[in-house]
Amino acid sequence: MKGVIYARYSSDNQREESIEGQLRECNEFAKKNGIQIIETYIDRALSAKTDNRPDFQRMIKDSESCNFEVVIVWKLDRFARNRYDSAHYKAMLRKNGAKVLSATERISDSAEGILLESLLEGMAEYYSAELAEKVVRGMTDNALKGKYNGGTLPIGYVIDSEKHFQLDPVTAPSVIHAFKRYAEGASMQEVTDELNLMGIRTKRGGKISINSVTSMLHNRKYIGEYKFRDVIQPGAIPAIVSVELFDKVQERMVANKKTPARHKAEEEYLLTTKLYCGKCQSFMVGESGHSQSKGTVHRYYKCITAKKHKTCDKKTVRKEWIEDLVIDYVRKILFDDELLETIAEKVVNVFGKENETLPLLRKQYDETQKAIDNLLYAIQQGILTPSTKQRMQELEQQKNELSAQIIKEEMAKPLITKEHILAFLERLRKLNTNKLEHRRRLIDTFINKVVLYDDGRIFIGCNYTDCSKEITFDELEEACENSSDFSETAGP
């Protein structure tokens, strides 16, 4: 794995050695667990109660490029002390394929924070899906009318003021030339070179490449066909080449097509950074291998110490077996109504207490309103001075500003009720455990740590500590009897 380190100290009382100590322990943690550090982010004399930290924001921005998979901190309070900010930024990192790890704490953030992360992510997905439906509806309507829906415009076309496709008299002839030359036997490279010699450029002004020509010769817009999702509109836009010429080109491309290289399929190991060796407490990481007889791919988890340093003799465990076992245990938790009620209440209580700004703003708003009421009462009693009007204007302006700040704070940190939490948990019950994304959601929401021993014991640490247990494989199989194929799955 590739990772980065985030270090911070919050006051002038702490010295540079504080940062050095954090970096040393984080680097030792990374080395032990096979994590390659590619960047270090440091904020000095800045509190984690605010997210206005330059290197912190730079790290969040850099995560968008998906160059690293983990963010290592000395302790979790180095990342954030505000529950909402912690959940918000961890959700952003997870969306970009990264997660936060503590070098000194073997447990994740609290149950409330993890559940809040998942809830915020779920709410964001809901609003995103709702917005996507509206966008797709509008784009489908455009497609039915043959209108431009955005994206890279094919060479040979321009868009008029009504968003309809029109032939570009400058570049359309070059499209016909490309189709004819390839149909006559020219190679892709020859067609590419000829278009570049003709001065044809991509819509971004770059030179034509073989990929550009391949895409051009496959594009059915050139025969007037407009496709968007399931909508196919023949003759919706002006055709540049005939159907006969287009089909002839497709036949030659199929004949010349080479067998693509076989890329090794990337398999996601859902318990990465969560599964620990019961002997040396190091991470267990994913590996795969082929059987010599049948060539079947076997995927499993192996202790990182045993893999890199050969100093641990922990047995490997089959990926499907351990992941199915953990998923079944999570589903057992999900169908405990009493436990979910307790979790929802605790999340709401913690979340409500941690927004310190909103109660303060509301208090200031009430005090300002009271001052306005007192001033109005004085005016009604005939107490009127030259400064009364000015003071009233100041109070009204202050009231409006506070009102705007309250609305902004409520929008940034929306009110989450017990009903929101329970509704979210109810949706988790309906997830399809055969889908990778759904399995990942269940594990990330509930599972904190899994420790695997060779003597038939397993410790499953949940984000909600009341669910954490150390049990035997036999007991776990009995506890997870709701799984239809659990008993058929071989052990490690």
What is the tens place of the pLDDT at every residue in 281-307? 888 988 888 766 666 788 899 998 888
Q: What pLDDT shows up at residue 241?
A: 93
Q: What pLDDT shows up at residue 470?
A: 81
Residue written as token pair 């494989």: 473
Q: What pLDDT shows up at residue 220?
A: 92
Q: What pLDDT shows up at residue 488?
A: 37
Distance, CA of 221 to CA of 491 (rounded, Å): 54
Distance, CA of 251 to CA of 246 (rounded, Å): 9
DSSP 457-468: EEEEEESSGGG-
Q: Predicted confidence band at 477 (pLDDT cuts at 50, 70, 90)? A: low
CA atoms within 13 A on the CB side of 420: 17
Classified as helix, coil or strand, 111 is helix
Q: What pLDDT shows up at residue 482?
A: 46
Q: Which residues pair with 201 in a beta bridge?
A: 207
Widest pairwise Cα distance in the chain = 102
For residue 404, with 0-12 CB atoms within 10 Å meaning exposed, 13-18 middle and 19 or more buried, which class applies? Answer: exposed
> Other C-beta atoms within 10 Å of 368: how many?
20
